[in-house]
Amino acid sequence: MADVTHTPNAPPRHLPAGTPPILELVNIAKYFPGVIANEHVSLNVFPGEIHALLGENGAGKSTLMNVVTGLYQPDAGEIIIDGYGTTFPAPDAAIAAGIGMVHQHFRLVPRFTVAENLHLGWSETPRRLSAKDIEARAKELSARFGLPVRPSAIVSSLSAGEQQRVEILRVLSRGARLLILDEPTAVLSPVEVGELFSALRRFRSEGGAVIIISHKLDEIMALADRVSVLRQGRLVGTHQVADVTPDSLVTEMIGRPVALATSYPRQGPVPAVEEAEPLSLQQVTVRDSAGVVRLDNISLSLRPGEILGIAGVTGNGQPELAEVLTGLKEPESGTVFLNGKAVNRADPAMFAHAGVGHVPEDRLKRALMPGLSVAENMALREYDRPPIGGKFSFSMPQARKFAQMLADRAGVKLPGTQVQIRGLSGGNQQRLVLEREIRIASHVLVASYPSRGLDIGAISAMRDMLARARDAGVAVVLMSEDLDEIFALSDRIAVLYAGRLMGVMTRAEADRDSIGALMSGRSLSEAA
Amino acid sequence: MSAVSHRTRLTVVPSYRIAIGRGLSILAALSIVAITLAAMGRSPIELAGLVVRSTVGSRFGIEDLALFMTPLMLTGAAVWVGIRVNLWNIGAEGQLYAGATAATAIGLFTHWPAFVALPAMIVAGMLAGAAWIFVPAAARAWLSVSEIVTSLLLNFVASLLVYYLATGPWADRVTGALASTERLHMAFPEFWGAVHLGFILALATVIGLGVGLAKSRFGYETAVCGSNPQAAHYAGIGVAPRILAVLLLSGALAGLAGVFEVAGTVHRLQGGLANNYGYLGIVVALLARGSCLALIPAALLMALILDTGIVLQTTQISSSAVLAITGLLVLAIAAGDELAAYVRVNRT
């Protein structure tokens, strides 16, 4: 394949020709039992460059970065820093070479202050110093790198964006010249994303290099100078961002062109309206443990064979709504009707048996047992019925067969059903959870942010699965921060703001402006 | 090419690698013991010969090993069922005393025929063991009070209670033995020298436990609760009742160890009867890792160390040597298990 834009060794255009790279990877390979994580990966990164790394879930991005940061040893290939071949026997060697990583899941001590976190495990931290001293030092660091933080704040009280700034500051204060960020925007609000990007651009203008792993193509197009694409552990191309389009990147990433559909027409007739409501809420109010109202007097009913999209900015009551709909939380006041019968206590098992599936927001924390095998994880919803189990029995061979069947249907390649599920990539874990939940969701499926962390191919497959569930007569609730997704799939759209339902409208009535107004808390009459 | 490492860590370690690793670990630990003995001016070879002759080398030694193994298998199982779901019962010592006390009450104060009394002892001992852990278990299940501290502290209560009974109300007035009750009226029948039925029953209990947990819904549900309580809640599995059930089972197993010890091996309730079996059960459970059946060889190894200690004591070596050897062995095996996970990657 003659790809004219594949120019792996040229520096970004804004840098003078002949600039030496800060990092060169030559034919890196890394194998795990039964899996080729990386093979023949050659890549270089120049000072003053933001380099995006793109690839599907499980394409080997995280493994490659673990090799660069010394967490893994490559099984073949060379790492060259400033022109000298090196090996990183351990992460501290990579840090000493000026490579710093900001992980997707922060590695901060939640109970410590910002200043304490910055000084933890740092050779330059003076042996004796007072809280005042380290706060002063933290303030100085914050000013030097242009990342505003409050040194005396306890980390657990900070927003995700602020915690990320602390992480970046910690890495930069160790003298990092190459900053690696793993999906840094996944947890950020749009404003925080803007702040992060301007901080990264400033770092670049001072001669720093950045590798950013992201699924969000528009962010890559806006921020990066060059982009490298990994597929099945191999590098398929490195391009100047100016030479590519989002579409060409997607094609390269998954080996075939994929465009997300903007609508999912029904395969059969719409079910009659008089069919019983599988689940409805009547004037439901929920408070959290601190007594703050999270859901405020919500009335809502689901209809079979329909997708109800819940739009809203994150943190406006979405998790609580999902918990009430799946029986995980009992409302403080108001009633939940399951198949027409009032339920007045939290009983997730009863909801599950009544055919309510649930893909929660945080799958690893909520829906999976990371330390148990794939087989045991896949059995979680059907362990109490044949063929896997009965009133007293449990059959591991049947659970393994069942797990293999789910994996085959989800298109997930397993190294075996007895491996711990934490060993699978995040995207594969999500596909398996979705497959498991759709199986039991005979009446209702509540999906919270199902596309979070998935690549575009997997998102497309996920949406097809939701549409198929709808066609089979399931009432689907789709919570998403992505309005395109809501508009593509929903039959009705509800907007959640500060725990209140701002309105429910059909897809035909809804338009972006009115939904956007409702999401920011204005009523339709105000917006008009 | 530069020197890159060709080793990678396996996520699933095949059991043959663990077995090899453990063999080498035991060898390493024994070598250190031998070197230490040699430095003390003793002949390791002579002592080793003595240890082998008096443990596996003689009928009497083998009988002794079986008697040591009986309580160790059960206290090991007691700790193991907890660790399996992330619960740490450090109180097997106390539950063993509770079980022994209940069995003693039947053995001293009833004159039932053996086929009634012995099953009654087993039931009463298991209930007593479960009762002894009930408060820590309930506090852990519903109030999230750490079971490690509460179960540990009750050991001292149980031990003092047994001393009180053995020197006070239940003291032996016939022979005047110190801190001991009279001989029980009935005992588990001996079938091979001093080895009694308790050994067979302990073996059967461990096997039954392993098979039962692997093939039961209870085993699966408790594994889920132990691995991620939030996911258990999500799946509609009540976590608190299952924590309680696992800890009660754990207490009952330790109580059973007490029954066999008092009514099979010692025949009297004595102060110090537990002989650290409860604590050594933690070591046995750790050695067995994820496998219930591995409790049997782990208990055998621990029994060998205990026996070795006794033999060494007869040659004027401090009895603390047992603890030192145990520690050394656990350390070596922990290192061996870890190293067994690393494999060389063959590239072509």
* pLDDT tens column, A361-371: 877 788 999 88
**pLDDT tens-digit series, residues B67-101:** 999 999 999 999 999 999 999 999 999 999 999 99
Q: What was the pLDDT predicted at A234?
A: 87
Residue B141, pLDDT above cutoff 90? yes
Using a CB–CB cut-off of 8 Å, the residues of B that contact A are 1-8, 10-12, 214-221, 223-224, 227-228, 230-231, 233-237, 345, 347
CA neighbor of A249 nearest in space, from A265, A268, A230, A275 = A230
**What average pLDDT score do residues A49-76 get?**
87
What single-letter amino acid sits at A163? Q
Residue B134, pLDDT above cutoff 50? yes
Q: What was the pLDDT predicted at A508?
A: 86
Peptide bond into A21 cis (omega under 30): no
Maximum Cα–Cα distance for chain A, whole Å? 74
Report how far residue B321's alpha carbon sits from residue A411's, in angstroms, rounded to the nearest whole number.
58
User: For chain B, give me the number of helices (H) and strands (E)?
Assistant: 13, 4
Which residue of A lies nearest to B6 if distances are taken between CA atoms? A75
Instruction: Quote the minimal CA–CA distance from A159 to chain B in Å.
Output: 23
Residue B3, pLDDT above cutoff 50? no
How many CA atoms are closer than 13 Å to the CA of B99, on its beta-carbon side? 38
Residue A443, pLDDT above cutoff 50? yes
Alpha-carbon radius of gyration of chain A = 25
**What average pLDDT score do residues A462-478 get?**
90
- Residues in A 417-436 with any Cβ partner in B closer than 8 A: 418-420, 423
**pLDDT tens-digit series, residues A294-305:** 888 899 989 988
Report how far residue A119's alpha carbon sits from residue A109's, in angstroms, rounded to the nearest whole number.
11
Average confidence score pLDDT of chain A: 85
Asked if the C-beta of A84 comes within 8 angstroms of chain B's C-beta atoms, the answer is no
More confident site: A237 or B348:
A237
Bridge partners for A85 per DSSP = A80
Q: What was the pLDDT predicted at A413?
A: 83
- Residues in A 223-282 with any Cβ partner in B closer than 8 A: none
Nearest to B4 among A73, A392, A419 (CB): A73
Sorting pLDDT into bands at 50, 70 and 90, what band is A1?
very low
**What tokens appear for B266 in the block?**
């010692």
Query: Which residues 6+ apart lie within 8 Å of B175 measured at CB?
Result: B182
**pLDDT tens-digit series, residues B279-299:** 999 999 998 888 899 999 999
Q: What was the pLDDT predicted at A245?
A: 85
Q: What was the pLDDT predicted at A258?
A: 66
Give all domains of chain A, ordered by start, each with its CATH number.
1-98+177-259 (3.40.50.300), 110-175 (no CATH), 279-371+420-527 (3.40.50.300)
Which residue of B lies nearest to A423 if distances are taken between CA atoms? B11
Write the Ramachandran bin of B327: left for phi over 0, alpha for psi from -120 to 50, otherwise beta: alpha
Least confident of A9-18, A277-286, A350-359: A9-18
Q: What was the pLDDT predicted at B126?
A: 97
**What average pLDDT score do residues A429-453 get?**
88
Task: Out of 1.10.357, 1.10.3710, 3.40.50, 1.10.3470, select the CATH number for domain B43-316.
Answer: 1.10.3470
**What average pLDDT score do residues A128-134 get?**
83
Cβ <8 Å between B220 and A379: yes
Cβ-contact A320, A294 below 8 angstroms: yes
| ipTM value for the complex | 0.84
Report how far residue B106's alpha carbon sits from residue B148's, in angstroms, rounded to the nearest whole number.
31
CA neighbor of A169 nearest in space, from A187, A190, A144, A152 = A144
Q: What was the pLDDT predicted at A232?
A: 80
Sorting pLDDT into bands at 50, 70 and 90, what band is B2?
very low
For chains A and B, CB pairs below 8 A equal: 109
Nearest to B234 among A78, A367, A384 (CB): A367
**What average pLDDT score do residues B31-45 get?**
90
Q: What was the pLDDT predicted at A425?
A: 75
**What average pLDDT score do residues A121-149 get?**
84
Q: What was the pLDDT predicted at A2?
A: 44
Cβ <8 Å between A358 and B234: yes
**pLDDT tens-digit series, residues A368-412:** 998 899 999 999 999 988 889 888 999 999 999 999 999 998 888
Instruction: Quote the minimal CA–CA distance from A82 to chain B in Å.
Output: 16
Cβ <8 Å between A366 and B7: no
Asked if the C-beta of A73 comes within 8 angstroms of chain B's C-beta atoms, the answer is yes
- The residue extents of the domains of chain B are 43-316
Measured between beta carbons, which residues in chain A are less than 8 angstroms from residue B215? 393-396
Residue A182, pLDDT above cutoff 70? yes
Average confidence score pLDDT of chain B: 90
Q: What was the pLDDT predicted at B205?
A: 97
At residue B178, the 3 state secondary structure works out as: coil
